[in-house]
Amino acid sequence: MRAPSTLKERIARRDYTVGVIGLGYVGLPLVMRFGGDGFRVLGFDVDGLKTEQLRQGKSYIQHIPGERLADLIRAERFEAFDDFERLGEADAIVICVPTPLNDHREPDLQYVERTTDAVVRTLRRGQLVCLTSTTYPGTTEEVLLPRLSSGGLRVGEDFFLAYSPEREDPGNAQFTAATIPKVVGGVTPACLDLACTLFAEIIERLVPVSSTRVAEGTKVLENIYRAVNIALVNELKVVFDRMAIDLWEVIDAARTKPFGFQAFYPGPGLGGHCIPIDPFYLTWKAREVGISTRFIELAGEINSAMPAYVVGKVADALDSRRKALNGAKVLVLGAAYKSDVDDDRESPGMKILELLGAKGAAVAYSDPYVPRLPRTRHHDLGLVSVPLSAESVSSYDAVVLVTDHSAFPYQMIHEAARLIVDGRDAFRRRGFTGSHVVQA
């Protein structure tokens, strides 16, 4: 069954309003894409500070220019709200709220549930609801659908429900949001048809799949694939280090194989909102069908041991210079979880700072994109980024490279630092080697 042609015609005419719930790293770029393509967009977020900034045409995401936002507001194509009063005006509602783990490392769906409850209150005929948040297979049908159907409206006839995951790669200039293929699954064929009609307006290539569960499973597979492969090279890093073999050089050689090999790189620990978290959504769901996800658990174990491995390398390197970590001055370079972004969520830098501090080191950090360390559920370090100069760098007993931002002055650091412990192969890659540079 196809979606009603009246709705599809309204999409084509741009006589159609898109509501985006959750205006963060995923939601705000979607606002820009729909708004930039002529749709009227209503943005909703529970964080009043964010909506206030947006109303003033200010962006809090590095790669979204405030001017473009201001243009949309001037053209009356974007408004931001910190309540859901006007949610009913939206013809399509795209949900981009967080899906973290709770303290027991189990899925915490409270944001998705609360959002869905808000949608239920204004759900009306013809509305399309599309979940974008990463989650375990089954969420759309088991968590959203019963709530949305509770008022008597029928899915696929009165309202439409889909799941379409996001594939952002922040900081990667090679792909634009429009050129990354987008997977879409609908609860019914009409749901899929309507969701595809809408997303086809802003994305070059859609990948329709047979169900929301397949679409949810696709996203989870993509993130597990990364987590497991990163764990593999992290394990090899430790083994090869003991054998005095440079794993980064090994990977560079291996990647010349034109088939059957994809390069993954070791690092100081996983970070960001996705890879350290999403695989455990499946772990939790798999228990329901009596299966334990051993690969995922093992990858988690190896990856989460990496910050301690880096700290061990710092201690060893200081030790070989007759210096104890306890009492040493250590500068960590990078608080964002990956290069050239300002996102510090789940960043290994925080963990490394904490572990170094617990061992008695006097810690500081520098990151051009993270001026101060935020207080989170797990960390409250209260540090501000220190400016980098030859004088300041040389005053530390060790400098630990956690995030390979291109903005770091590598040559100056290489010349000024007494000891560099490099968790990203950032110095060797740029030709800066020497006995004071240690891979970690």
Ligand X SMILES: NC(=O)c1ccc[n+]([C@@H]2O[C@H](COP(=O)([O-])OP(=O)(O)OC[C@H]3O[C@@H](n4cnc5c(N)ncnc54)[C@H](O)[C@@H]3O)[C@@H](O)[C@H]2O)c1
Binding site for ligand X (CB under 6 A): 21-27, 44-47, 50, 96-99, 111, 114-115, 132-134, 166, 168, 170, 273-274
Would you say 101 or 250 has its CB closer to ligand X? 101
CB of 436 to ligand X, least distance (A): 35
Nearest CA-CA partner of 417 in 438, 367, 403: 438
CB of 62 to ligand X, least distance (A): 12
Q: 156 and 1 in contact (C-beta within 8 Å)? A: yes
Nearest CA-CA partner of 29 in 146, 139, 132: 132
Q: 348 and 337 in contact (C-beta within 8 Å)? A: yes
Would you say 65 or 409 has its CB closer to ligand X? 65
**C-alpha distances in angstroms, 66 versus 63, 164, 177, 229?**
9, 27, 18, 37
Would you say 55 or 114 has its CB closer to ligand X? 114
**C-alpha distances in angstroms, 184 versus 207, 346, 409?**
6, 28, 43
Structural tokens at position 354: 């904490």
Given the residues 96, 191, 196, 274, the one annotated as active site:
274
CB of 98 to ligand X, least distance (A): 5
CB of 2 to ligand X, least distance (A): 29
Tokens 């049908």 label which residue?
141
Structural tokens at position 238: 């430790």
Would you say 50 or 285 has its CB closer to ligand X? 50
CB of 346 to ligand X, least distance (A): 11
d(CA 215, CA 209): 6
User: Please, what sign has the CA dihedral across residues 268, 270, 104, 283?
Assistant: negative
d(CA 137, CA 141): 9
CB atoms within 10 A of CB 432: 16
Would you say 29 or 266 has its CB closer to ligand X? 29
* DSSP letter string, 309-372: HHHHHHHHHHHTTT--STT-EEEEE--SSSTT----TT-HHHHHHHHHHHTT-EEEEE-TT-SB
Would you say 169 or 319 has its CB closer to ligand X? 169
CB of 166 to ligand X, least distance (A): 4
CB of 147 to ligand X, least distance (A): 13
CB of 137 to ligand X, least distance (A): 14
Q: 135 and 164 in contact (C-beta within 8 Å)? A: no
Our answer to whether residue 196 is catalytic in this structure is no
Would you say 87 or 440 has its CB closer to ligand X? 87
User: Please, what sign has the CA dihedral across residues 22, 27, 28, 31?
Assistant: negative
Would you say 112 or 420 has its CB closer to ligand X? 112
Query: 222-259 as b/e, with b when 16 or more CB fall inside 10 Å?
Result: bbbebbbebbebbbbbeebbeeeeebbeebeeeeeeee
Which residue has the closest beta carbon to ligand X?
24
* DSSP letter string, 180-232: S-EEEEESSHHHHHHHHHHHTTT-S-EEEES-HHHHHHHHHHHHHHHHHHHHH
DSSP 8-state secondary structure symbol assigned to residue 387: P
Residue type for position 215: A
Q: Could you give the residue numbers annotated as active site?
A: 274
